[in-house]
């Protein structure tokens, strides 16, 4: 009775038998196909996917490091590329200024500061560059005049 209650498809097969045999056939087919693919190939494919994913993440991360990139893009969409190029130039100018500041700090200010901090009154370097760092009294009296700034104390022939 139980077998009679099962629905029969158009060819006269019972639906449970078709489903079970179809699953078995599919499983055997998959096992044969998986056996053809080597583990090294699977690893290589997975490694390629991971490298691509990391590369995309790194490219997106680099965009976040560019100052004001999203805001400049928004300005470009509203006002055009000419206005956008002006702000890009300002960003570049700021980058040059920051770079020059870092170079001055690294090669002038910090070494001079470290050298002065190690000096004692008896050291031979003590106050050797004081004349370059402190404005003489005769120059200080006229330092705010325009002629001092204009001449720079240099004679041109």
Task: Read off the DSSP letter of residue 106.
Answer: I
Which residues have CB under 8 Å from 115's CB, separation 6+? 125
Q: Answer whether 0.75 is exceeded by the pTM.
A: no
Which residues have CB under 8 Å from 75's CB, separation 6+? 83, 84, 87
Question: Residue 157 corresponds to which tokens in the numbers above?
Answer: 């022939």
Cα angle 145-146-152, degrees, rounded to a multiple of 5: 100
Q: For 43-54, what is each residue's pLDDT tens digit?
A: 899 999 999 999
Q: For residue 88, is pLDDT > 80?
A: yes
The answer to whether 1 touches 11, Cβ cutoff 8 Å, is: no
Q: What residue spans define the domains of the chain?
A: 67-135
């Amino acid at each position: 009775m139980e077998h009679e209650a099962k629905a029969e498809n158009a060819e006269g097969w019972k639906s449970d038998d078709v489903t079970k045999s179809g699953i078995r056939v599919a499983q055997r087919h998959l096992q044969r196909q998986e056996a053809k693919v080597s583990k090294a190939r699977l690893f290589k494919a997975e490694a390629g996917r991971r490298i691509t994913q990391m590369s995309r993440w790194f490219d997106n991360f680099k965009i976040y490091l560019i100052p004001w990139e999203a805001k400049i893009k928004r300005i470009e969409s509203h006002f055009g590329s000419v206005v956008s190029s002006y702000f890009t130039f300002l960003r570049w100018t700021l980058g040059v200024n920051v770079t020059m500041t870092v170079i001055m700090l690294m090669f002038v200010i910090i070494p001079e500061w470290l050298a002065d901090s190690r000096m004692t009154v008896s050291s031979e370097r003590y106050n050797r560059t004081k004349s370059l760092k402190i404005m003489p009294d005769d120059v200080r009296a006229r330092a705010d005049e325009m002629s001092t700034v204009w001449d720079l104390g240099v004679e041109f022939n």
